[in-house]
Amino acid sequence: MPHRIKAQRGVKSRKAMRTSKKTVKAVKNVKPGTGRILHSKHAVHAVKKSKPAQNPVVKSEPEVVRRTIKKGVLQSVRGMRDILPHDFRYWRWFKDTARTIAEQYGYQEIDVPIVEDVSLFRRSIGDVTDVVQKEMYEFTDAGGDRIALRPEATAGIVRAYIEHGMLNLPQPLKLFTMGPMFRYDRPQSGRYRQFYQFNVEVLGSEASVIDAEVIVLAYTILKELGIETTVHINSLGSSESRIQYKKILQAYLKSRKNELCDDCQERFLKNILRVLDCKNEHCQQLIADAPELVDSLDDESRKHFVSVLEHLDEVDIPYVLNPRIVRGLDYYNRTAFEFFSADQENGRQSAFGGGGRYDSLVEQLGGRSTPACGFALGIDRVISAIREQKIEPPTQPAPAVYLAQIGDQARKRALQLFERLRKAGVPISGNLAKDGLRQQLELADKKGARFAVIVGQKELIDGTVLIRDMESGMQETVDFKKIEKELEKRLKI
Ligand code: HAM
């Protein structure tokens, strides 16, 4: 019986993280030289009175030294990029949409570590796949363990399913996760070394309707984001039918083996199915008339496949039977699918996502025999398509109130007021670093605020604030204590 694989030692749970945040706060409040924990105002007082440290601690920056330096300028590592604040509206839209739809379909969110034992990926994705052989970020940690940055999420989720005895929960278990994956591939448009996936897994059912459900889920998410897609679908059958088909394919290609590209010559020996999805044009010509896997399917797999297609017909999901869909990871059997742009005939470009059934993986990793099915969407690629097609994410509602302050004392009051209004549910924004009133009112205007709340020197003394109607320019003085009520009245919250 294969042994179970556990979560990487030392990877913190969310609870543990929370504890460490508290520790940071406590450490910050230690009065210099006493080791005593002080709270809020006492701490400020102590800091004011404390002398500057004799030997200021200079933070070492080993991570900075290790980063790529180009002409003296630090840059992100090749194939990895920053997602900047102005791009976040796309990412937030994708994530919110995917999460909402997945939850509507009864899927629960799960997070698994980014780092796992190397053997998990070797045993699941397969030793002779490109992902494991060429693309895995693999290293030995300080404790001597061989670990890897996850190239995909399915293996980690299956490991967690076994490790936490989730097979004892009501089945099928429907899960989703989102996060970064890592593959050391040649970077190009739509292909990164750190990329993001939205991943869905259903464990504990072999029903064909589950295959259809996950396809409908991915399709619906893409549709909701304005992307028209076609599902390219195939069946990989059982392992026995694949063994038989591989022999047929080998016999077919034997006389033409030397004409295959270098990669495919290797694949011919190790993983001949991958010749079918080679992007090289000459290889594609050579396999154009190759026998198809679907003709070698065992009866059960054929029935299952037909049933999946019938379900898709029922919900009008556009699909193409594509014998070239064989998937790049070894754990698949039966249904395999990828999502391509609807205007693409041949499905030779980058897929938005892909997935399929993996009925043996749980057992292969040490669990009880559990059929399963899932997919992952490449978030980077979906967002690129959204941008290329000039699809605009829904705009965020403008903040109704802008908080402006004049002078240092007012700023202290404004910081407190900001929190009060936030807690009261007032949609508020502001820029506490700004001083000039005109500049702040311009910002309020730009943000589309309906009202500005102005805290000035005079108002501070009087215990009041000004509420300015941004449309009419009319200003009214209101009691500082009653500001929430006054705003609620005006905003009809
Ligand atoms: P995959 O086909 O290897 O499947 O990846 C799914 C999607 O991730 C791809 O279709 C693509 O959109 C995106 N992707 C993959 N590599 C890159 C890259 N280097 N840069 C940008 N995007 C990329 C899996 O990972 C399976 N675990 C899916 C699955 C879940 N099967 C069953 N359950």
Residue nearest (by alpha carbon) to ligand 1 atom 12: 378
> 197 C-alpha to center of ligand 1: Å?
7
The full set of domain ranges for the chain reads: 21-59+79-237+297-388, 401-491
Residue 50: CB partners within 8 Å, gap ≥ 6?
31, 32, 33
Residue-wise pLDDT for 290-303, tens only, equals 999 999 999 999 99
- Tokens of residue 53, six digits: 């440290």
CB neighbours (10 Å) of residue 68?
11
For residue 68, the model assigns a pLDDT of 53
Which CATH superfamily is 21-59+79-237+297-388 part of? Bira Bifunctional Protein; Domain 2 (3.30.930.10)
Residue 323 CA to its chain's centroid (Å): 29
> 18 C-alpha to center of ligand 1: Å?
31
Residue-wise pLDDT for 232-278, tens only, equals 999 999 999 999 999 999 999 999 889 999 989 988 888 899 999 88
> 368 C-alpha to center of ligand 1: Å?
26
Residue nearest (by alpha carbon) to ligand 1 atom 3: 328
- Tokens of residue 352, six digits: 């938005």
Cβ < 6 A, ligand 1 pocket: 152, 154, 183, 185, 190-192, 195, 197, 199, 201, 328-329, 351-356, 374-376, 378, 380-381
What predicted TM-score, i.e. pTM, was given to this entire model? 0.85
For residue 36, the model assigns a pLDDT of 39
> 369 C-alpha to center of ligand 1: Å?
25
> 232 C-alpha to center of ligand 1: Å?
15
Q: What sign has the CA pseudo-torsion 407, 409, 415, 416? A: negative
Reply yes or no on whether the pLDDT at 424 is more than 90: yes
Residue nearest (by alpha carbon) to ligand 1 atom 31: 355
**SS3 for 493?**
coil
Atom index in ligand 1 nearest the CA of residue 358 equals 32
CATH level 2 (architecture), domain 401-491: 3-Layer(aba) Sandwich (3.40)
CA distances from 392 to 93, 223, 358, 377 (A): 10, 14, 36, 20
Atom index in ligand 1 nearest the CA of residue 339 equals 10
CA nearest neighbour of 80 among 156, 184, 198, 197: 184
Residue-wise pLDDT for 150-207, tens only, equals 999 999 999 999 999 999 999 999 999 999 999 999 999 999 999 999 999 999 999 9
For residue 343, the model assigns a pLDDT of 79
47: enclosing H helix or E strand: helix 40-49
> 383 C-alpha to center of ligand 1: Å?
14
Pocket test for ligand 1, best of 77, 176, 195 (most atoms within 8 A of CB): 195
Residue nearest (by alpha carbon) to ligand 1 atom 8: 378
**Which range has the worst mean pLDDT, 30-34, 121-125, 355-359, 365-369?**
30-34
Q: Note whether 21-59+79-237+297-388 and 401-491 share their fold.
A: no
